[in-house]
Amino acid sequence: ETGVTQSPTHLIKTRGQQVTLRCSSQSGHNTVSWYQQALGQGPQFIFQYYREEENGRGNFPPRFSGLQFPNYSSELNVNALELDDSALYLCASSLQRTSGINEQFFGPGTRLTVL
Amino acid sequence: DQQVKQNSPSLSVQEGRISILNCDYTNSMFDYFLWYKKYPAEGPTFLISISSIKDKNEDGRFTVFLNKSAKHLSLHIVPSQPGDSAVYFCAAISGTSYGKLTFGQGTILTVHP
């Protein structure tokens, strides 16, 4: 069983640029969530995708957007990068259930630095 | 508005002793509470959870206690081992939140041999 993988591991961009981060879900999972973890903080929910549609969104501006593909992998796109976007971006996959909690399995993250 | 708070940034414990990590929350709608452990260069890994209808859940060396009236939960690790040294995050989720986890800021646990 393959776990959650993310690419790239590290990325350096300059202010105003655009970035795409990628995530491959754990086998059998149909839901992907993205989180931003700033230095010294806990992860903050950006959004979740289920069956290729956005299924919920946190308090992030529209320049943060995403996609989920038929194979359940996902992309996070950030336009017009700002210095405060520098953070660890975590992807988590889960299997949507009708009851109980959906245990989320996290990837190792992508460290984004905006200069 | 920080709905989940971990007020202790760090905790240092001797091997074999008990580690107690604390977490407070403000949102009464949370249904489940979870603890995640994170090592450097790895994503958070699930440790243990508790439903809001329970007050205790135990799994091996790990026990989570929930005090709903105080909106407080704690994770007890007994006995603590050097391999437990990591960042511990408390997280909460409500049934209406489409799987959105709300995390605390984390507590760095160091277990000394």
Closest to A8 measured CA to CA, from A79, A112, A83: A112
Q: Which of A60, A97, A101, A111 to mutate to test the interface with B (most CBs of B within 10 A)?
A: A101
Residues A87-102 pLDDT 10s: 999 999 988 766 667 7
Q: What is the pLDDT of residue A8?
A: 97
Residues of chain B positioned with their CB less than 8 A from the CB of A50: 98
What length is written for chain B? Answer: 113
- Is the pLDDT score of A1 beyond 60? no
* Cβ atoms within 10 Å, residue A107: 24
Residues of chain A positioned with their CB less than 8 A from the CB of B44: 43, 90, 106
pLDDT band at A107 (very low <50, low <70, confident <90, very high): very high
C-beta separation of B111 from B14 below 8 A:
yes
Residues A50-104 pLDDT 10s: 889 998 899 999 999 999 999 889 999 999 999 999 999 999 998 876 666 778 8
Q: What is the pLDDT of residue A100?
A: 62
Q: What is the pLDDT of residue A110?
A: 97
Per-residue tokens: B96 = 């209406």
Share of chain B above pLDDT 90, in %: 88
Residue in A44, A58, A108 nearest the CB of B41:
A108
Q: What is the pLDDT of residue A96?
A: 73
C-beta separation of B87 from B106 below 8 A:
yes
Q: What is the pLDDT of residue B95?
A: 72
Distance, C-alpha A66 to centroid of its chain: 8
- Is the pLDDT score of B98 beyond 70? no
Q: What is the pLDDT of residue A102?
A: 73
Whether B104 sits inside 8 A of A42 (CB atoms) is yes
* CB neighbour list of residue B60: distance below 8 Å, 6 or more residues apart: none
Closest to A56 measured CA to CA, from A99, A1, A96: A96
